[in-house]
C-alpha cells in the first residue's frame, strides 16, 4: 500500500518536472525515465523469467537507428508512423535473436546473447552511411520541443509500468516465474516453455526498442555505442542495483544510476571505475538491491 502511494508520488513528481521547462532537468529526468523503461523491460527476463540476457542493448539501438533512418531518408517523423515501425523492427530483431539464443541455456545463453549484440555493434559501426563510430543525427525529431518529448516519455513510462504489472499478474506472468523456479516442472505440467520464453524475450525486446526510440527522440542523436556490451552490462547492473524480480526496483536503480553517472562524470574523469566499484559492491553486499533493503525493513 505504502509502496503504491510512493510510486504515485514519484510519478506526479516526475510529471511536475515537465512543467518547469528547465532544459537541464527535462533532459536529465527524461534520460532517467528512459533508463527506467529499459531496466524494467530487462527485469521481465532477468528477474522474472531467470534469463540473463546481454542482448538488450541491441533492441534499444535498432529502434533508435530505425528512427534516424526514417527521419533522415524518408522524412517520416510523426510518432504515429515512426513508433510502430521502430517497435516492429525491435520486435523482429528480438524474434530472430531470441529464437537462436534460446536454443542455448544457462551460461551459453549469456554468451550467445552477448555475441549477437556485439555482431550488431560491428555491423552498425562498419556499415557505410551510418556514420561509423560517430553515429548519426536525427534530422527531424518526432516530438516538437523538449517539453513534449518529456511528457511523451513520462506517459510511456506509466503505460509500460501498467502493462508489465498486468502481464506479471496474468497467467503468463505466473508461468514465467514458474519457469525461473523450475523449468523442468513447468514442461512436465504441459507448458511449452520455449515458446513462453521467446514471447517474454520479444516483449522485453520491444519495450527496450521503445526506450531506444524515446532516447533518439529526446537527444536527436544515435551512435553504435548504444549496442555495446557496456550498455547491456549497465542496464543489467541497473536491474540488480534496484532489485531484480520487482517492477519498482529497476525504477529505483535507473534513477539512482542516472544521478551517479551524472555527478560521477563531474567528480572524476575515471567515473567508469566508480561504476565498476559500485557494481562489485552491489553484487557482494546488496544482492537483492535497493528494493531488498526496503523489504528487509518491513
Report the interface residues with another protein, using CB under 8 A.
46, 52, 54, 100-101, 103-108, 110-112, 114-116, 118-119, 122-123, 126-128, 166-167, 169-172, 174-175, 177-178, 181-182, 184-193, 195-196, 199, 203, 229-230, 233, 236-237, 240, 244, 270, 272-273, 275-280, 282-284, 287
Closer residue to another protein in complex, CB, 23/187 = 187
Nearer to another protein, 48 or 143 (CB): 48
CB nearer to another protein: give 74 or 108. 108
Torsion of Cα atoms, 60 then 63 then 65 then 66, to 10°: 170
* Grid cell of 149 as nine digits: 518529448
Question: What DSSP character marks residue 225?
Answer: G
Beta carbon nearer to another protein, 3 or 103:
103
Contact between residue 217 and residue 151 where contact means Cβ atoms under 8 Å apart: no
Q: Which lies closer to another protein via its Cβ, residue 81 or residue 111?
A: 111
Q: Do 204 and 249 meet the contact criterion of CB atoms below 8 Å apart?
A: no
Question: Minimum CB separation from another protein for residue 46, in Å?
Answer: 6
Buried b (16+ CB within 10 A) or exposed e, 92-105: bbbbebbeebbeee
Minimum gap (Å) between residue 197 Cβ and another protein: 12
| Nearer of residues 149 and 234 to another protein, judged by Cβ | 234
CA distance 81 to 74: 11
Question: Do the beta carbons of residue 161 and residue 247 sit within 8 Å?
Answer: yes
Cα–Cα distance list, 257 to 27, 98, 105, 278 (Å)? 15, 28, 30, 10
Nearer Cβ to another protein, position 141 or 197? 197
Q: Which is nearer to another protein, 88 or 286 (CB)?
A: 286
Task: Categorise residue 145: left if φ over 0, alpha if ψ from -120 to 50, beta otherwise.
Answer: left
CB of 239 to another protein, least distance (A): 9
Min dist. Cβ of residue 248 to another protein (A): 18
Least Å from the CB of residue 22 to another protein: 31
- Reported residue count of the chain is 298
- Could you tell me the smallest distance in angstroms from the CB atom of residue 6 to another protein? 23
Least distance in angstroms from the C-beta of 88 to another protein: 18
Retrieve residue 63's grid coordinates. 529502434
Residues with Cβ within 8 Å of 247's Cβ and at least 6 positions away in sequence, in order, are: 40, 43, 161, 164, 165, 168
Smallest CA-to-CA distance from 219 within 1, 83, 34, 72 is with 34
Residue 270 DSSP SS3: coil
Shortest distance, CB of residue 85 to another protein, whole angstroms? 22
Q: What is the C-alpha to C-alpha distance for residues 179 and 253, in angstroms, rounded to an integer?
A: 25
Amino acid at each position: 500500500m505504502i509502496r503504491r502511494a510512493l510510486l504515485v508520488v514519484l510519478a506526479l513528481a516526475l510529471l511536475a518536472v515537465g512543467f518547469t521547462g528547465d532544459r537541464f532537468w527535462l533532459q536529465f529526468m527524461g534520460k532517467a525515465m528512459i533508463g527506467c523503461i529499459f531496466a524494467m523491460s530487462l527485469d521481465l527476463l532477468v528477474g522474472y523469467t531467470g534469463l540473463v540476457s546481454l542482448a538488450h542493448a541491441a533492441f534499444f539501438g535498432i529502434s533508435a537507428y530505425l528512427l534516424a533512418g526514417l527521419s533522415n531518408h524518408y522524412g517520416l517523423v510523426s510518432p504515429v508512423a515512426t513508433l510502430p515501425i521502430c517497435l516492429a523492427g525491435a520486435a523482429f530483431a528480438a524474434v530472430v535473436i531470441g529464437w537462436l539464443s534460446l536454443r542455448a541455456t544457462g551460461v551459453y545463453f549469456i554468451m550467445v546473447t552477448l555475441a549477437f549484440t556485439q555482431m550488431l555493434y560491428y555491423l552498425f559501426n562498419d556499415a557505410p552511411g551510418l556514420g561509423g563510430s560517430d553515429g548519426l543525427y536525427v534530422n527531424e525529431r518526432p516530438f516538437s520541443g523538449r517539453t513534449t518529448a518529456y511528457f511523451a516519455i513520462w506517459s510511456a513510462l506509466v503505460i509500460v509500468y501498467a502493462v508489465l504489472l498486468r502481464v506479471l499478474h496474468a497467467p503468463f506472468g505466473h508461468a514465467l516465474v514458474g519457469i525461473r523456479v523450475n523449468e523442468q516442472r513447468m514442461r512436465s505440467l504441459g507448458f511449452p516453455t520455449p515458446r513462453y520464453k521467446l514471447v517474454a524475450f520479444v516483449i522485453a525486446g520491444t519495450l527496450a526498442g521503445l526506450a531506444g526510440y524515446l532516447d533518439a527522440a529526446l537527444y536527436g542523436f544515435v551512435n553504435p555505442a548504444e549496442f555495446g556490451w557496456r550498455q547491456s552490462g549497465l542496464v543489467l547492473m541497473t536491474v540488480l542495483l534496484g532489485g531484480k524480480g520487482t517492477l519498482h526496483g529497476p525504477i529505483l536503480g535507473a534513477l539512482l544510476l542516472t544521478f551517479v553517472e551524472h555527478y560521477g562524470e563531474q567528480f572524476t574523469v575515471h567515473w567508469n571505475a566508480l561504476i565498476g566499484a559500485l557494481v562489485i559492491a552491489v553484487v557482494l553486499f546488496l544482492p537483492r538491491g535497493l528494493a531488498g533493503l526496503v523489504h528487509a525493513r518491513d
